């Protein structure tokens, strides 16, 4: 990435890169929508609902699942987008070699330690995930599993409150719709 690359060009490059990397993936909902819809939604939440205009943060949002869910490496991201974007993506990436419960525990534990750009990406990601669970949940998820995910996401977000009041209000509004036993 050249230091003279216009921010909009960088954002489009990140969107294109993510689309290519996620090209064979689909979301877990009944619609099995193209996976790229998720990183696009995360970037849109940041820009449209959070007022985030920083191209580095928006690029990291578009790329946030590439290391975790594709064969993309930190070195590859750093070569294409620079170390700052690559480092933010690494901050929000789980180590898939660890058991799921350990990854979830580590997200709660590490959320207060994230950089501000990583906190923004993580917050928008959680908003999008909760919305997906409400409107297009993964196949076979029970109310209890949905409720547990909502409560876990809140623990992660509570670890870095104060990063963006607008986005936190959006998160709280979506969280307030959480599935409850006796209510679908």
Q: What's the mean pLDDT in 33-37?
A: 91
Please tell me the predicted confidence (pLDDT) of residue 82. 96
Q: Tell if the pTM clears 0.85, that is, is over it.
A: yes
What is the Cα–Cα distance from 124 to 148, expressed in whole angstroms? 19
Please tell me the predicted confidence (pLDDT) of residue 99. 96
Please tell me the predicted confidence (pLDDT) of residue 41. 98
Please tell me the predicted confidence (pLDDT) of residue 139. 87
Q: Which of 44, 49, 54, 68 is catalytic?
A: 68
Residue 76 has pLDDT above 90, yes or no: yes
Between helix 74-81 and helix 83-91 the angle, nearest 10°, is 140
Please tell me the predicted confidence (pLDDT) of residue 147. 96
What's the chain's average pLDDT?
A: 94
Please, what CATH class does the domain formed by 7-175 belong to? mainly alpha
User: What phi and psi values does residue 34 have, to the nearest 5 degrees?
Assistant: -55, 135
What is the Cα–Cα distance from 42 to 166, expressed in whole angstroms? 15
Q: Is 24 a catalytic residue?
A: no
Task: List, for residues 44-68, the tens digit of each pLDDT value.
Answer: 999 999 999 999 999 999 999 999 9
At residue 4 the predicted structure's pLDDT band, cuts being 50, 70 and 90, is: confident
Alpha helices in the chain (DSSP H): 7-21, 37-44, 55-63, 66-69, 74-81, 83-91, 100-110, 116-135, 143-158, 165-175
- Judge contact between 135 and 31, C-beta under 8 A: no
pLDDT above 90 coverage of the chain, percent: 86
Q: Is 69 a catalytic residue?
A: yes
Task: List, for residues 88-147, the tens digit of each pLDDT value.
Answer: 999 999 999 999 999 999 999 999 999 999 999 999 999 999 999 999 888 899 999 999
Please tell me the predicted confidence (pLDDT) of residue 85. 98
- Judge contact between 30 and 43, C-beta under 8 A: no
Please tell me the predicted confidence (pLDDT) of residue 25. 83
Please tell me the predicted confidence (pLDDT) of residue 86. 98
Q: Which of 69, 76, 87, 94 is catalytic?
A: 69
């Amino acid at each position: 990435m050249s230091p003279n690359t216009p921010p909009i060009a960088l954002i489009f490059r990140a969107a294109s890169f993510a689309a290519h990397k996620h090209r064979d993936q689909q979301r877990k909902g009944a619609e099995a929508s193209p996976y790229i819809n998720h990183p696009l939604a995360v970037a849109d939440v940041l820009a449209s609902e959070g007022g985030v205009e920083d191209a580095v943060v928006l690029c990291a949002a578009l790329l946030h699942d590439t290391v975790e869910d594709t064969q993309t490496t930190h070195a590859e991201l750093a070569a294409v987008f620079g170390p700052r974007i690559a480092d933010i993506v690494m901050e929000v990436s789980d180590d898939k070699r660890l058991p799921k419960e350990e990854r979830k525990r580590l997200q709660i534990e590490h959320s207060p330690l994230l950089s501000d750009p990583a906190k923004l990406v993580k917050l928008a990601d959680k908003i999008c995930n909760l919305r997906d669970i409400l409107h297009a949940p993964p196949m076979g998820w029970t109310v209890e599993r949905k409720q547990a995910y909502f409560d876990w996401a809140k623990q992660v977000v509570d670890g870095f409150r104060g990063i963006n009041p607008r986005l936190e209000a959006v998160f709280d509004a979506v969280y307030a719709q959480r599935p409850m036993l006796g209510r679908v």
